[in-house]
Amino acid sequence: MEARKIDLQGKLIVFEGIDFTGKSTQVELLASYLRKKNLTVTTTHEPGGTPLGEKLRKIILSRRNDELLPFSELLLMITSRAQLCSKVIQPALQMGHVVISSRYRFSSVAYQGYGRGIDLSLVKHLNKAATQNRIADITFLIDLQAELAVERKPEKHDRIEKEDLLFYRRVRQGYLKLARNNQRVKIIDGAMSVERIARAVIDHLNR
Protein backbone atom coordinates (compact mmCIF):
# COMPACT_ATOMS: atom_id res chain seq x y z
CA MET A 1 0.00 0.00 0.00
CA GLU A 2 2.98 2.33 0.40
CA ALA A 3 3.44 2.56 -3.35
CA ARG A 4 -0.22 3.41 -3.78
CA LYS A 5 0.13 6.14 -1.17
CA ILE A 6 2.82 7.79 -3.28
CA ASP A 7 0.72 7.35 -6.45
CA LEU A 8 -2.32 9.10 -4.99
CA GLN A 9 -0.64 12.00 -3.21
CA GLY A 10 -1.55 15.26 -4.92
CA LYS A 11 -4.15 13.57 -7.10
CA LEU A 12 -7.72 14.63 -7.87
CA ILE A 13 -10.33 11.86 -7.83
CA VAL A 14 -13.86 12.67 -8.98
CA PHE A 15 -17.17 10.82 -8.80
CA GLU A 16 -19.56 11.66 -11.63
CA GLY A 17 -22.97 10.47 -12.78
CA ILE A 18 -26.58 11.50 -13.00
CA ASP A 19 -28.51 12.31 -9.85
CA PHE A 20 -29.46 9.58 -7.38
CA THR A 21 -26.43 7.37 -8.07
CA GLY A 22 -24.81 7.70 -4.65
CA LYS A 23 -21.78 9.82 -5.53
CA SER A 24 -21.56 11.60 -2.18
CA THR A 25 -21.73 8.30 -0.33
CA GLN A 26 -18.86 6.92 -2.39
CA VAL A 27 -16.78 10.04 -1.75
CA GLU A 28 -17.05 9.48 2.00
CA LEU A 29 -16.41 5.74 1.79
CA LEU A 30 -13.28 6.22 -0.29
CA ALA A 31 -12.05 9.04 1.93
CA SER A 32 -12.45 6.83 5.00
CA TYR A 33 -10.58 3.98 3.32
CA LEU A 34 -7.67 6.19 2.24
CA ARG A 35 -7.38 7.87 5.63
CA LYS A 36 -6.98 4.45 7.20
CA LYS A 37 -4.04 4.04 4.80
CA ASN A 38 -2.51 7.21 6.33
CA LEU A 39 -3.24 9.43 3.36
CA THR A 40 -4.33 13.03 3.92
CA VAL A 41 -7.66 13.48 2.18
CA THR A 42 -9.73 16.55 1.31
CA THR A 43 -13.33 15.97 0.25
CA THR A 44 -15.58 18.42 -1.52
CA HIS A 45 -18.61 18.69 -3.79
CA GLU A 46 -20.22 20.73 -6.55
CA PRO A 47 -21.91 23.07 -6.71
CA GLY A 48 -20.58 24.48 -3.46
CA GLY A 49 -17.53 23.63 -1.41
CA THR A 50 -16.69 27.25 -0.51
CA PRO A 51 -18.68 29.94 1.34
CA LEU A 52 -19.57 31.67 -1.92
CA GLY A 53 -20.12 28.36 -3.66
CA GLU A 54 -22.68 27.30 -1.06
CA LYS A 55 -24.63 30.51 -1.65
CA LEU A 56 -24.57 29.83 -5.37
CA ARG A 57 -25.67 26.24 -4.72
CA LYS A 58 -28.82 27.50 -3.01
CA ILE A 59 -29.61 29.71 -6.01
CA ILE A 60 -28.97 26.93 -8.52
CA LEU A 61 -30.97 24.25 -6.73
CA SER A 62 -33.85 26.26 -5.25
CA ARG A 63 -37.18 25.48 -6.87
CA ARG A 64 -38.09 29.11 -6.32
CA ASN A 65 -35.76 29.93 -9.21
CA ASP A 66 -37.67 28.09 -11.94
CA GLU A 67 -37.08 30.99 -14.33
CA LEU A 68 -33.30 30.59 -14.18
CA LEU A 69 -32.07 30.37 -17.78
CA PRO A 70 -29.86 27.44 -18.84
CA PHE A 71 -27.02 29.84 -19.67
CA SER A 72 -27.39 31.58 -16.30
CA GLU A 73 -27.33 28.18 -14.62
CA LEU A 74 -24.11 27.36 -16.45
CA LEU A 75 -22.43 30.61 -15.42
CA LEU A 76 -23.38 30.07 -11.78
CA MET A 77 -21.95 26.56 -11.91
CA ILE A 78 -18.75 27.83 -13.51
CA THR A 79 -18.42 30.57 -10.89
CA SER A 80 -18.82 28.02 -8.10
CA ARG A 81 -16.26 25.75 -9.77
CA ALA A 82 -13.73 28.57 -10.18
CA GLN A 83 -13.98 29.40 -6.48
CA LEU A 84 -13.70 25.75 -5.47
CA CYS A 85 -10.72 25.06 -7.68
CA SER A 86 -8.80 28.15 -6.59
CA LYS A 87 -9.66 28.11 -2.88
CA VAL A 88 -9.86 24.40 -2.09
CA ILE A 89 -8.74 21.96 -4.76
CA GLN A 90 -5.50 23.52 -5.98
CA PRO A 91 -4.15 24.38 -2.49
CA ALA A 92 -4.93 20.88 -1.21
CA LEU A 93 -3.27 19.23 -4.21
CA GLN A 94 -0.19 21.40 -3.76
CA MET A 95 0.06 20.17 -0.16
CA GLY A 96 0.00 16.58 -1.39
CA HIS A 97 -3.55 15.77 -0.32
CA VAL A 98 -5.76 13.33 -2.15
CA VAL A 99 -8.74 15.45 -3.21
CA ILE A 100 -12.02 13.60 -3.74
CA SER A 101 -14.95 15.50 -5.22
CA SER A 102 -18.55 14.72 -5.99
CA ARG A 103 -18.82 16.27 -9.47
CA TYR A 104 -16.35 18.36 -11.43
CA ARG A 105 -15.89 19.41 -15.06
CA PHE A 106 -17.83 16.55 -16.65
CA SER A 107 -21.00 17.64 -14.85
CA SER A 108 -21.37 20.91 -16.73
CA VAL A 109 -20.71 19.23 -20.07
CA ALA A 110 -23.27 16.52 -19.30
CA TYR A 111 -25.95 18.65 -17.63
CA GLN A 112 -25.70 22.10 -19.18
CA GLY A 113 -24.22 20.86 -22.47
CA TYR A 114 -25.97 17.62 -23.37
CA GLY A 115 -28.88 18.12 -20.98
CA ARG A 116 -29.71 21.80 -21.55
CA GLY A 117 -28.39 22.01 -25.11
CA ILE A 118 -25.73 24.69 -24.56
CA ASP A 119 -22.87 24.66 -27.07
CA LEU A 120 -20.40 22.01 -25.93
CA SER A 121 -17.33 23.93 -27.02
CA LEU A 122 -18.44 26.91 -24.91
CA VAL A 123 -19.00 24.75 -21.85
CA LYS A 124 -15.59 23.11 -22.26
CA HIS A 125 -13.90 26.50 -22.74
CA LEU A 126 -15.45 27.88 -19.56
CA ASN A 127 -14.53 24.71 -17.68
CA LYS A 128 -10.92 25.03 -18.77
CA ALA A 129 -10.74 28.64 -17.62
CA ALA A 130 -12.51 28.03 -14.29
CA THR A 131 -10.20 25.16 -13.33
CA GLN A 132 -6.96 26.62 -14.68
CA ASN A 133 -7.04 23.61 -17.01
CA ARG A 134 -6.81 21.15 -14.08
CA ILE A 135 -8.46 17.91 -15.07
CA ALA A 136 -9.25 15.01 -12.78
CA ASP A 137 -6.57 12.34 -12.48
CA ILE A 138 -9.21 9.63 -12.02
CA THR A 139 -12.94 9.90 -12.67
CA PHE A 140 -15.35 7.23 -11.50
CA LEU A 141 -18.52 7.43 -13.56
CA ILE A 142 -21.30 5.71 -11.63
CA ASP A 143 -23.50 4.81 -14.56
CA LEU A 144 -27.17 4.05 -14.08
CA GLN A 145 -30.04 3.85 -16.55
CA ALA A 146 -32.08 7.03 -16.41
CA GLU A 147 -35.24 5.05 -15.71
CA LEU A 148 -33.70 3.49 -12.59
CA ALA A 149 -32.29 6.82 -11.41
CA VAL A 150 -35.65 8.56 -11.71
CA GLU A 151 -37.26 5.75 -9.68
CA ARG A 152 -34.90 6.71 -6.85
CA LYS A 153 -36.01 10.35 -6.90
CA PRO A 154 -37.12 11.37 -3.39
CA GLU A 155 -40.47 13.04 -2.80
CA LYS A 156 -38.66 16.27 -1.96
CA HIS A 157 -36.27 17.20 -4.76
CA ASP A 158 -34.46 20.30 -6.00
CA ARG A 159 -34.82 22.40 -9.17
CA ILE A 160 -32.53 20.20 -11.27
CA GLU A 161 -33.69 16.89 -9.79
CA LYS A 162 -37.26 17.67 -10.87
CA GLU A 163 -36.27 17.26 -14.54
CA ASP A 164 -37.98 14.53 -16.56
CA LEU A 165 -36.79 11.20 -17.89
CA LEU A 166 -35.79 12.55 -21.31
CA PHE A 167 -33.50 15.10 -19.68
CA TYR A 168 -31.76 12.43 -17.62
CA ARG A 169 -31.39 10.24 -20.69
CA ARG A 170 -29.57 13.07 -22.48
CA VAL A 171 -27.34 13.69 -19.47
CA ARG A 172 -26.48 10.01 -19.14
CA GLN A 173 -25.60 9.73 -22.82
CA GLY A 174 -23.43 12.81 -22.43
CA TYR A 175 -21.52 11.18 -19.62
CA LEU A 176 -21.02 8.00 -21.62
CA LYS A 177 -19.70 9.98 -24.58
CA LEU A 178 -17.25 11.79 -22.30
CA ALA A 179 -16.06 8.49 -20.87
CA ARG A 180 -15.61 6.78 -24.24
CA ASN A 181 -11.93 6.05 -24.94
CA ASN A 182 -10.89 8.14 -21.94
CA GLN A 183 -8.26 6.23 -19.97
CA ARG A 184 -8.76 8.49 -16.94
CA VAL A 185 -12.37 7.34 -16.56
CA LYS A 186 -13.59 4.14 -14.92
CA ILE A 187 -17.25 3.31 -15.53
CA ILE A 188 -18.94 1.50 -12.65
CA ASP A 189 -22.36 -0.12 -12.74
CA GLY A 190 -24.57 2.08 -10.57
CA ALA A 191 -27.16 -0.68 -10.19
CA MET A 192 -24.81 -2.53 -7.85
CA SER A 193 -25.04 -2.20 -4.09
CA VAL A 194 -23.22 0.60 -2.28
CA GLU A 195 -20.71 -1.94 -0.96
CA ARG A 196 -19.98 -3.45 -4.36
CA ILE A 197 -19.48 -0.02 -5.92
CA ALA A 198 -17.05 0.90 -3.14
CA ARG A 199 -15.15 -2.35 -3.70
CA ALA A 200 -14.95 -1.70 -7.44
CA VAL A 201 -13.48 1.74 -6.73
CA ILE A 202 -10.83 0.37 -4.38
CA ASP A 203 -9.97 -2.49 -6.74
CA HIS A 204 -9.42 0.01 -9.54
CA LEU A 205 -7.11 2.15 -7.41
CA ASN A 206 -5.14 -0.92 -6.31
CA ARG A 207 -4.81 -2.51 -9.71
Domains of the chain (ranges; CATH) run 2-205 (3.40.50.300)
Question: Quick one: DSSP state of residue 21?
Answer: S
CA–CA distance, 145 with 34 (Å, rounded to integer): 29
What is the pTM (predicted TM-score) of this model?
A: 0.95
pLDDT band at 3 (very low <50, low <70, confident <90, very high): very low
% of the chain with per-residue pLDDT over 70: 97
Name the residue among 16, 15, 11, 14 with its Cα closest to residue 39: 11
Cβ-in-10-Å burial (0-12, 13-18, 19+) of 194 comes to exposed
Is residue 84 predicted with pLDDT exceeding 80?
yes
54-71 residue pLDDT tens: 999 999 999 999 999 999
Please compute the mean of the pLDDT values over residues 147-171 and round it to a whole number.
Answer: 93
Phi-psi category of 103—alpha, beta or left, where left has phi over 0 and alpha has psi -120 to 50? left
